[in-house]
Structures are given as structure tokens and as C-alpha cells.
């Protein structure tokens, strides 16, 4: 390993002091042109790079943002990451991405690790388990300390902080309206258990649309999928009802795709006999057959917006207007399944 150059070694080799080198490298006018050129040439030749650790320690800022997501094998979060990354890079910020794997303990560890000086601020989408257990102490602690943090997508309800969310209720409403506008009245929903807020909100939108259109809400048309059991089978049950729905709103892409498969097995034609609409940022959706109509979630925009809010906090330290919430609106992307 060719020995690593740093300011001190440069100074020694050139018989000047470290501070001279430091200044010369920043083109300071305090240093004579001659010395400056000499030092810069040397630094370039030996490929000097300032040590970012030392810089961060010195400047008390790391120029990196922390990002905690529940998972990454998920097109939506991948898109979010892209959004965050673009905005951060523009301002010369780097990104440290951590996975909570929807696990409370892991989330706490991530927080711990990231906030020990490694990052200047945090972007978080909260783990499922955290909601289930209702333990937000790790976040509350950070907020008390005034640590800059912006939540997105899966956000804690009772904490007053900056958030970026998708309007899930409106999304569910739009999805259902899309089916209603296509002349359907018997509309089912594949939802999550109630504690998953996004699913719950989308379901509220669904109910709202039905009510507004004076369509009776048929209890047997609502399935709260239990992911610990066979998903296909739970969906098939709905499709096997003697008076099965003609339209189906799935609160995520996976359920929608499986519904398509099950419909096929049961020889139900899509969209003729059953219209299906999903909710996501569309990845599988384009490759199913038929392709899937969905509610676009705009992950990229969400990530970009969240990063923007965080950077604002970091750069204009002045305004500490807490608890802003930015809502990303959704829209229907029409494909073949409706």
C-alpha cells in the first residue's frame, strides 16, 4: 500500500507547515502564488484527498443523510431512494441507507448508529413492528434533542414532526371511483389488517367512494389479508363467492397480481368479468397479463420531497417550523385490467 498522503506528509515533504498546506489547497490569498502552485501540484500528483472523517469531526457536519427504510426489495422504496439520492447529490450530500426489515429492534439499532455523529439528518419510513408495538421512544428521544428528521410514507401519527405522505384515503377513493365510473357496483377490496395504516386509509377511501355513490357495503367483499397464511387462498375465497364482485381494489400490487392469477385459475376473464385495480408504483404491474391498472404512488417524488424538506432544515437553520406535512397526490394509471 503506497503510503497515504495527508496534509502533514505534504507539509513535511515540502518543508512548509500544515496550515500553509491547508490554506494553499483552498486557494487562500494568504499564501503566495508560488507556494500555492507548488503545493497544489504536489497534492495533485500524489492524489491527495482530504480525509472526510477528519473534516466531519472538525466541521461538525458530515454532509451525509441517513435513510432508514423497512425493506428494499420493493419497487416503491427503490423509487423513493432514487428521489432522495438525486436531491441529496445535488447539494453534495451523501446517503447512508439502512434497512429496518420492519423490525423494531433493528430500527432502534439503525437510529443509534446513524445518530452517533455519522449523519446530519435522518429520513425514516417506520417499521411495521414499531406500529404494532406502539413504541416510538427512539424517535421521541431524537426529536427532544432537536435532531433533524423527516418521516415519509409510513409515519407515526401522534408525533408532531415533518412528514411526507401519500394521500392514501384519496388514493383508495380514486381507485374505487375508477371502478364505479366503469359502471361497476359490486366492488370488493383486498386490504391489510387494520393496524397497517396505509391499508386502513386506502380502505377508508374505498368506503367513502361507495357511500357517496349509495352503494351498499357488502361485508363479505372486504378481505383483510393475513400474510402469515396462504394469500392466494384468501383471495380465491372472495372470487368463489356465489355472488362475487365485478370489481376489485387491491391495496397493494402484490395482492392485485395474485388476484389476477387466481382469477385466471377460476377462468374469470379480466377485465370482462372482473376489473382489478392495484395500488403501487408499478413494477410487476407492467409485466402481468393483462397489465394491471394501478394507483401511482410517486415514490420518486416522495423521496425527493422528503430530502428537500430535510435539507431545508439543515441549511436554513433559522426556521424550525415543526410538524409540516406534505401530501403527495396519487392518480390512476390505466392499463388492461380494468
Partner DNA sequence: TTGAAAGCGCTAACAC
Partner DNA sequence: GTGTTAGCGCTTTCAA
Nearer to DNA by Cβ, of 6 and 324: the residue is 6
Cell of 34: 508560488
Q: Are strands 275-280 and 222-224 parallel, antiparallel or unpaired?
A: unpaired
DSSP string, 277-297: EEEES-SGGGTSSSPPEEEE-
- Draw the binding track, 253-292, toward a second copy (x: CB under 8 A; -: no contact): -x--xx-xx--x------------------xx--xxx-x-
Nearer to a second copy by Cβ, of 256 and 311: the residue is 256
Which among 34-42, 98-106, 129-137, 205-213 is the span making contact with DNA, rule CB under 7 A? 34-42
Distance CA 69, CA 148 (A): 17
Nearer to a second copy by Cβ, of 116 and 318: the residue is 116
Binding at 220: pick from a second copy, DNA, none (beta carbon under 5-8 Å per type): none
Distance CA 64, CA 93 (A): 5
Distance CA 207, CA 216 (A): 9
Distance CA 190, CA 188 (A): 7
When asked if residue 34 is in the footprint of DNA (CB under 7 A), the reply is yes
Binding at 35: pick from DNA, a second copy, none (beta carbon under 5-8 Å per type): DNA
Binding at 144: pick from DNA, a second copy, none (beta carbon under 5-8 Å per type): a second copy
Q: Among residues 230, 220, 219, 222, which one has the least CA distance to residue 202?
A: 222
Angle at 191 between CA 330 and CA 270, to 5 degrees: 80
Which among 75-83, 123-131, 197-205, 222-230 is the span making contact with a second copy, rule CB under 8 A? 75-83
When asked if residue 2 is in the footprint of a second copy (CB under 8 A), the reply is yes
Number of residues lying near DNA (CB under 7 A): 30
Distance CA 260, CA 287 (A): 12
Cell of 72: 428494499
Cell of 308: 428537500
When asked if residue 54 is in the footprint of DNA (CB under 7 A), the reply is yes
Which among 15-23, 56-64, 166-174, 323-331 is the span making contact with a second copy, rule CB under 8 A? 56-64
Using CB under 8 A, which of 15, 34, 116, 242 touches a second copy? 116
Distance CA 326, CA 338 (A): 30
In the block, cell 432522495 appears at: 84
Distance CA 102, CA 121 (A): 21
Please, are residues 102 and 127 in contact by the beta-carbon 8 Å criterion?
A: yes
Nearer to DNA by Cβ, of 15 and 145: the residue is 15
What's the DSSP call for residue 69?
E
When asked if residue 26 is in the footprint of DNA (CB under 7 A), the reply is yes
Using CB under 8 A, which of 17, 28, 32, 51 touches a second copy? 51
**Binding site residues, a second copy, CB under 8 A:** 1-2, 4, 47, 49-54, 56-57, 62, 72-75, 78-79, 81-82, 85, 94-99, 112-113, 115-118, 141, 144-147, 254, 257-258, 260-261, 264, 283-284, 287-289, 291
The binding site for DNA (CB under 7 A) comprises 4, 6-8, 15-20, 22-23, 25-26, 29-32, 34-36, 50-51, 53-55, 57-60
Amino acid at each position: 500500500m503506497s503510503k497515504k498522503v495527508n496534509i502533514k506528509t505534504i507539509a513535511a515533504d515540502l518543508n512548509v507547515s500544515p496550515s500553509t498546506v491547508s490554506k494553499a489547497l483552498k486557494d487562500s490569498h494568504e499564501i503566495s502564488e508560488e507556494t500555492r502552485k507548488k503545493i497544489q501540484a504536489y497534492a495533485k500528483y500524489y492524489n491527495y484527498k482530504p480525509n472526510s472523517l477528519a473534516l466531519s469531526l472538525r466541521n461538525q457536519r458530515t454532509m451525509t443523510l441517513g435513510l432508514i427504510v423497512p425493506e428494499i426489495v420493493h419497487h416503491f422504496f427503490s423509487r423513493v431512494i432514487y428521489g432522495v439520492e438525486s436531491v441529496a447529490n445535488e447539494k453534495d450530500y451523501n446517503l447512508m441507507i439502512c434497512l429496518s426489515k420492519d423490525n423494531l429492534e433493528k430500527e432502534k439499532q439503525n437510529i443509534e448508529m446513524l445518530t452517533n455523529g455519522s449523519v446530519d439528518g435522518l429520513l425514516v419510513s417506520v417499521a411495521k413492528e414499531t406500529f404494532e408495538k406502539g413504541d416510538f421512544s427512539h424517535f421521541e428521544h431524537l426529536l427532544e434533542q432537536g435532531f433533524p428528521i423527516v418521516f415519509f410514507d409510513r409515519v407515526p401519527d401522534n408525533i408532531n414532526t415533518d412528514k411526507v405522505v401519500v394521500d392514501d384515503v384519496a388514493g383508495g377513493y380514486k381507485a374505487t371511483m375508477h371502478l364505479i365510473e366503469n359502471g361497476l357496483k359490486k366492488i370488493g377490496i383486498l386490504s391489510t389488517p387494520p393496524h397497517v395504516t396505509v391499508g386502513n386509509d386506502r380502505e377508508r377511501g374505498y368506503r367513502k367512494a361507495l357511500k357517496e355513490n349509495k352503494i351498499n357495503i357488502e361485508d363479505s367483499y372486504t378481505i383483510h389479508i393475513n400474510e402469515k397464511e396462504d394469500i392466494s387462498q384468501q383471495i380465491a375465497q372472495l372470487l368463489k363467492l356465489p355472488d362475487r364482485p365485478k370489481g376489485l381494489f387491491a391495496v397493494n400490487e402484490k395482492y392485485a397480481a395474485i388476484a389476477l392469477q387466481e382469477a385466471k385459475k377460476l377462468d374469470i376473464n379480466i377485465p370482462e368479468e372482473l376489473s382489478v385495480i392495484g395500488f403501487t408504483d408499478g413494477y410487476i404491474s407492467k409485466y402481468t397479463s393483462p397489465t394491471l391498472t394501478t394507483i401511482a404512488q410517486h415514490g420518486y417524488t416522495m423521496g425527493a420531497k422528503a430530502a428537500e424538506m430535510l435539507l431545508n432544515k439543515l441549511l436554513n437553520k433559522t426556521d424550525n417550523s415543526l410538524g409540516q406535512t406534505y401530501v403527495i397526490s396519487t392518480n390512476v394509471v390505466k392499463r388492461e385490467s380494468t
